[in-house]
Structure 1
Amino acid sequence: MARVSASSYHGSIRLLPWAIAALISAIAYRIYLHDTFALIFGFGRVIQPIEDFPWDCKRIQHPLLEGCEDIWLDYNNRKLYGACTSLNSRTGWNPSGSLFNVSARSRTDHISVLNIDEPGVDGLYGLHQLKIDYAGDLDLQGFDVKRIGDRQRFWLINHRPPVDPATGEPLDPRKVGANSTVEIFDLDTPSSTLVHVKTIASEAIISPNNLAVADDGIGFLVTNDHDAKAGMFRDLVILLGGGSLTYCRSDTGKCEVVARKNCSLPNGAVRGLDGRFYVSHSTSGVITVHEYSEDGLVEVKTIPLNVPLDNLSVNKDGNIMVAAIPHSVGFMQAADDPYNRVAAAGVLMLTNTDSLGNNYEVIKVIEDRDAKYLPTTTVAVHDAQTHRLFLAGGFSPFLSICQKRN
C-alpha cells in the first residue's frame, strides 16, 4: 500500500468539503436545473430561417414604434395600439429585468396607434400617439383593452419609481423596487385622448409583467414575473422558478395572489374566446390554462412548448398567438444593445382541437433564425381577416408586418 504523508492527508481533508459541495451541485444540476438550462440555452434546438415560411415581411421604423413591449389589435375599428417607450429608457428603467436606473427614464412613454388598412404614401399607416389625460408619468409595459359600451377601456401596467408615502421623497428602487400599479383609462370612440379613470395599487401587484381582463370588464389577472420587487436573490427566478398570479377587481380595487404553484416567471396573459385565462411562463416554456370563479383560480391544463416564451395574444378565430424566444443569449445581447443587435425570433400558434378544450395543437407560424425581418420580438398579433402578422419588441427600434403568401 502506498504511503501517505501527514501533510497530504490533511490537505485531502481540507478539500473534502469542496468535493462534497461539487458532488451535491452536480446532482442538483442533473435533477433540478438540467432541463431549465437546456430550455433557456436551447441545447439541440433547431432554429429555422425565415425563408422556410410562407410570409413576406417588412420593417417599419419610427421613434413612436421604439420599445413597444406589448401591442393590441382592435379588429372592429382596424387599429393597432402599442405600449411604447424610447430604447434608452427601456434599457435603463425596466423593473421586470431588474434595471432600476431612474435617471434613464425618458418620461415619454406613450400609446402608439396604426390604422392597419391604410398604409399611406409614407408606409407608416397613419402612425400617431394618443393624448393622455393623466397627472403623473407613465412607465409602460403590458396592457389589455376591453370595449365597454361606446368606449374602449385600457388597463395599463405602470412601473413608477418609488417615493416615500409620507414625505414624497424618492426611494432607492434597487432596495424597494418599483411602485408598480395598474392604471385604467377610457378612450371614447371619436376621441384621441385617454382619460384617466382609476389607479389600482396593491401589495399583491408585486412585479407585474402583463394582464388580461375578464369578460365582465371588471376582473383582471396580473402576472407577477418575480416573487419580490427587489433584492439580491430576485433573479434566481430564472433558474429556480417563481412568480405568481394576482386577481384584481376594477370596481373595488381589491387584489389577491391566487396562484404560486407551477409559476416559472409568468409573463404573458390573455383571455381566450373560450373564457379561460392563458398564461405563458418564460423559463419553463409552458402555457398554463386557468378558469376563474368565485371559488378562485383553477389550473385546468398545462401545455409544454419547449422554448422560452413572452407575450400572448388571441386572434379573431380564438387561436392563441405566442411570442417565442428561440435564442435566449441572442435576446439578452439585443436587449443590451438594441440599436445594433436583433435577436432570432419566432411565433407559435395554439389552437383548440376539440369542443371541450382538452386538446391543443401547437403550430410554428414563423421563425427568423438570422434576424432578417422580425424584431427582437416580445409580442405578435394575427389579423385573421387579412392574414397578416404584426410583431413588436420591448427592445426593438422597429415593428414588423408580415403578409401571408397565397
Structure 2
Amino acid sequence: MGVLMNSILGVLAVILATLYQSNVHFALYRGVRLFYGIGHTLEPLSAFPSYKCRRIEDERLQACEDMWLSEATRQLFLACSETRGRQQWSPNGGIFNASGRSLTDHIAVLDIDEPEGIEGAGGFRTRVLETPGYPGTHGDGTLNLVGMSGHDDGADGEVRLWLIDVKPSVDLATGRVLEDQTATGGNQTVEVFRTVGGREATALEHLESFWDPLIMTPNRVAAVGDDTNAFWITNDLGHSQSSWKRSLSPFFGQGSVAHCSGNSDRSQTCHAAIPSGLSWPNGLVHNRHDGLLYVPSSMVGTVDIYEPVRSGSLSTMKKVGTINVGYSIDNLMVNKDGDVWAAVFPSVTKLGKAFDDPYGVHHVPAAAMRIRKGPSGGYEVEKVLEDGFGEVLPMTTSVVHDATTGRLFFGSVISPFIAVCDKVLWKR
C-alpha cells in the first residue's frame, strides 16, 4: 500500500485546480487530511496502560497482510509472505517485478491458547499449512497472498479459507511468466481451501478457484459461509489496467464490490454488487451477528454499511448507513461479540518509507479502533490502542481482537514481524 499512497500524494497538487469544483473535491479534501494526520494527536503506547505489547519475530510470520480468527478451533490464521518479496511484487500497489516475488507465501497458524516462553512472554505454537495439489502459477504450486477470510464449518474443527492469490500472468503456450506484467496487471483469483485433519491440520485441501473479470484489483474477500463457497470482494482501484488511472481511481470513486458464488453444475457466477462509487474500498467484512456487510473506504475514512438483498440469483446491496471513523482504514475484523475492529493509519506519510526500507526504523504510527452499536441504536467509534511513535507495533494493516482473552494481534503487509498486545489484569 505504501508505494501507491506515495504516488497518490504526488498527484494531489496537479489535480487540485482542475477538480476542485467536482465531486472529487470531497475525496481530495478528506484524503489530504487523513494522509497527513491533520487533526490527529499521536499517542504513545504508554497512554494505554491496560495493554502490554510485544513483537513476535519469526521468519514464518513475515509480511502477514491479513489474518482471521477461528473461534471454533481457537487458532489464528495468517496470510504471510516474505518482506523483500512484497517490495518486488504488489500489483495493486503498482509493483510488477514478478521475478523478485516471494515463492514461499503460506498460511501460518497460531494456537493462541498455547503461548510459548516464560509466562507466555514469547510467541504461540506455530505451524505452516502445506497446499499439496494446488497448481499455483502454471503448475509451480506457489501462492502470492493478499487478503483472506474464513468460516468455521463444524464442531470437528474443519475450517474453510478464502484466499486472494495475485499470481503473475504467464504465456499459456510456454508456461513462462511474462516479462512485462504492467500490461496485464497480474492474474488475480480467489482460492477456496479446507483444512485437512481438523484442529491439528497440517495441510489445506484445494476446493475451488474463482476467476472473473470482476475480480480485477482485489483487496479483501469476505466469505458468506454457505455451501456455494460464495463471497464478496473489494476491488480497491476499480477495473482499470492503466497505472495512472489506478492512481486517480480513489478520487473518482471507481472502487467496487463484487459477489461470486459457485453452482451445482460446477460453474461460477460473479456480478457487481456495488458497481462503483467507493473511494479505495479496503478490507470489508461480513458481520454474521447482524447480517450486514461493512465496507471501509481508505481515502475518506468512512465505513459504509450494506444489507445484502437477494434478487433471484443475484445478491444486491442496500446501503443502510455510514460511519465516520476519521482515520484512513485498512482491514476490518469482527470479534465473537459482533464488534467491528479496524486497523487504521493515524498518519499515512511514513508508510512509503517503511515499504521502501521495512527493516529500518521509521516509527510508523498504528492504531486499533472499535466500532460497536450503542444503546441508542447508532454506532460508537473508540480508539482502543495506539502506538503513535511506532515503538512496538508493525506498520499495521490488520488487527484481530480475541474477545475471550482480550488480546489484540497486529499484522502487516510488509513488516518482518507481527505483534500481540495482552490485556493487563490489574491486581490490588
Letter paired with 2:30: D
Distance, in Å, in 1 between the alignment partners of 2:215 and 2:113 is 37
Tell me how far 1:129 sits from its aligned partner: 0.6
Deviates more, 1:287-296 or 1:203-212: 287-296
Distance, in Å, in 2 between the alignment partners of 1:173 and 1:329 is 28
Of 261, 275, 281, the match for 1:249? 261
Q: State the identity as a percent.
A: 36
Matched, 1:270 2:282: no
Look up the match of 1:57.
Answer: 53
Matched, 1:288 2:304: yes
Look up the match of 1:142.
Answer: 147
- Return the TM-score normalized by structure 1: 0.89
Matched, 1:225 2:236: yes
Of 106, 111, 114, the match for 2:107? 111
Matched, 1:313 2:333: yes
Tell me how far 1:260 sits from its aligned partner: 3.4
Deviates more, 1:374-383 or 1:241-250: 241-250
Gapped regions of structure 2 (runs ≥ 5): 1-14, 137-141
1:5-404 alignment runs, 5 A limit: 24=18, 33-53=28-48, 54-121=50-117, 123-133=122-132, 134-136=134-136, 137-149=142-154, 150=156, 151-165=158-172, 168-171=175-178, 172-188=180-196, 189=198, 190-217=200-227, 218-228=229-239, 230-231=241-242, 232-251=244-263, 252-272=267-287, 273-295=289-311, 296-340=316-360, 341-354=362-375, 358-404=377-423
Distance, in Å, in 2 between the alignment partners of 1:180 and 1:226 is 14
Gapped regions of structure 1 (runs ≥ 5): 1-20
Distance, in Å, in 2 between the alignment partners of 1:23 and 1:86 is 41
Tell me how far 1:147 sits from its aligned partner: 2.1
1:373/1:45 CA distance change after superposition, 3 Å: same
Q: Which has the larger radius of gyration?
A: 1
Distance, in Å, in 1 between the alignment partners of 2:148 and 2:392 is 25
Equivalent residues, number: 384
Kept after mapping to 2: 8 A contact 1:145/1:153: yes
Deviation track 1:349-392 (CA, whole Å, cap 9, x = no partner) reads: 0001259xx51100111011110111110000011111110111
Distance, in Å, in 2 between the alignment partners of 1:265 and 1:277 is 16
Distance, in Å, in 1 between the alignment partners of 2:341 and 2:26 is 32
1:349/1:165 CA distance change after superposition, 3 Å: same
Letter paired with 1:129: V
Tell me how far 1:230 sits from its aligned partner: 2.6
SS in 1 for 2:183: helix
Kept after mapping to 2: 8 A contact 1:215/1:275: no
Kept after mapping to 2: 8 A contact 1:270/1:312: yes
CA-based RMSD of the aligned residues comes to: 2.1
Kept after mapping to 2: 8 A contact 1:342/1:396: no
Distance, in Å, in 2 between the alignment partners of 1:350 and 1:47 is 20
Letter paired with 1:241: G
Distance, in Å, in 1 between the alignment partners of 2:366 and 2:405 is 22
Distance, in Å, in 1 between the alignment partners of 2:68 and 2:40 is 30
1:404/1:195 CA distance change after superposition, 3 Å: same
- Return the TM-score normalized by structure 2: 0.85
Distance, in Å, in 2 between the alignment partners of 1:77 and 1:317 is 17
Letter paired with 1:225: D
Distance, in Å, in 2 between the alignment partners of 1:31 and 1:223 is 21
Distance, in Å, in 1 between the alignment partners of 2:25 and 2:72 is 51
SS in 2 for 1:372: coil
Distance, in Å, in 2 between the alignment partners of 1:59 and 1:168 is 40
Letter paired with 1:148: D
Distance, in Å, in 1 between the alignment partners of 2:251 and 2:54 is 35
